[in-house]
Amino acid sequence: MAQLQAYVCNALTGQQLDRIPMKAYKYERLLSAGDASSSITIPLDGTFDAGTLRSLTQPWSRMIAIERDGVLEYMGYSMGHPGYRLGQRELTIKLVDLWSLLARRGGWNHSATNLEKWKVTYTASLAALADSVLRRGRTGPALPSMAFPLTLNGVPPGPAVTRSYYGYHMEYVADVLDDLMAEGLDIYFRPRWSGNGDADWLFETDIDWSTGITREFSVTAPGSPITGFVEQLDATRVTNNARYAGEGSEEDMLVRSSRKEASPYPLLDRVTNAKQIDKVAQLAAMAEQDLITYGMPTSQWEFQVTADTPIDVGDAVELHFDGDPVIPNGWYRRRVVKVSGDESEVKTISVQPTGGQ
């Protein structure tokens, strides 16, 4: 029987404040995206009086960390409850991960005297650019506090690009990260217990980032540990001519496109507005990445494994099929892009080919 625990942590430091009872929970951990439906349900069993309970679940200033057998499964900011009705015996708290905070935190220099005049230009790898905006996002005036519990553990080497950021664009940290991911960068904020017992996220990033761990499963074999396998194939976003519109307007607008001439499909255009971008090379890189990401129908596989199976976002899986009427026989290599679960003894794994196809 799994040992499930929930802890309230300080949202600025990740310090453990108290342990709380829980009746149920659900979570999602995703590659290069934030969770949308995580929550925890707390029984109203008299463990805490009303004032203490409100303090422990205070939106934005408190985080809740959920642990299974000593391993942190999920950590998220409290966002309040969807509705409490007098007499209820339980309370459900919505949770969001670090991406939601980064969507509300400016990616500019918070100490700049005149934001509209602030500008910085870097020549660095995409991973280093992501690191730099995260540092800007938590550096500045003392109050309100800009802290959040994230460990920046260095970045991998990569080709250098030149990127400029302007205060008058007023981009959030998440906006800057979105542009970098559109160029092919992967980002994962791994929840964990740090060495001193506090909770934090570990910043993981690279082009086609992975943990370097590969798991093998025989999907169709009798007694397979994989259950509930589902394939989703969607051609809605397929494109073979990607075009990005950058800074400017009318004849002065920067536009770059990339066409996949060997595509087996009829011409399918994809136009994306990126008015904050003034670098032709960046627009071209984003268009080229679209041809990789959307060059084929999106194929996503989902399946269930036991909750204690050691598999995480960024792992590679080798899946073997034999005798299936839809999926041809053989081995298939995929990357884990989402892990979701709850208090039950199973979790759901979503995998895609590298490049998101």
pLDDT tens, residue by residue, 192-212: 999 888 999 999 999 999 999
**Which residue range(s) make up the domain with 22?**
4-96
Confidence bin at 329 (pLDDT 50/70/90) = very high
Instruction: Please check whether residue 278 lies inside any domain of the structure.
Output: yes
Instruction: Please check whether residue 150 lies inside any domain of the structure.
Output: yes
Is residue 226 domain-shared with residue 324, that is, in the same domain?
yes
Q: Is the pLDDT of residue 32 over 90?
A: yes
Instruction: Please check whether residue 106 lies inside any domain of the structure.
Output: no
More confident residue, 338 or 255: 338
Is residue 249 domain-shared with residue 321, that is, in the same domain?
no
Average pLDDT, the chain: 94
Is residue 80 domain-shared with residue 11, that is, in the same domain?
yes
Report the share of the chain in percent with pLDDT over 90: 88
Segment 249-263, tens digit of pLDDT:
666 677 888 999 999
Model pTM?
0.93
Confidence bin at 1 (pLDDT 50/70/90) = confident
Distance CA 207, CA 170 (A): 26
Q: How many domains is the chain built from?
A: 4
Confidence bin at 357 (pLDDT 50/70/90) = very low
Is residue 177 domain-shared with residue 222, that is, in the same domain?
no
Is residue 46 domain-shared with residue 88, that is, in the same domain?
yes
Q: What is the reported pLDDT for 356?
A: 46
- What integer is the mean pLDDT of 324-350? 97
Is residue 226 domain-shared with residue 347, that is, in the same domain?
yes
Instruction: Please check whether residue 34 lies inside any domain of the structure.
Output: yes
- What integer is the mean pLDDT of 267-281? 90
Q: What is the reported pLDDT for 203?
A: 98
Instruction: Please check whether residue 131 lies inside any domain of the structure.
Output: yes
Q: What is the reported pLDDT for 247?
A: 82
Q: What is the reported pLDDT for 251?
A: 62
Dihedrals φ, ψ of 328, to 5°?
Answer: -60, 150
Q: Is the pLDDT of residue 355 over 60?
A: no
Report the share of the chain in percent with pLDDT over 70: 98
Q: What is the reported pLDDT for 268?
A: 96
Q: Is the pLDDT of residue 351 over 70?
A: yes
Is residue 23 domain-shared with residue 69, that is, in the same domain?
yes
Distance CA 239, CA 290 (A): 8
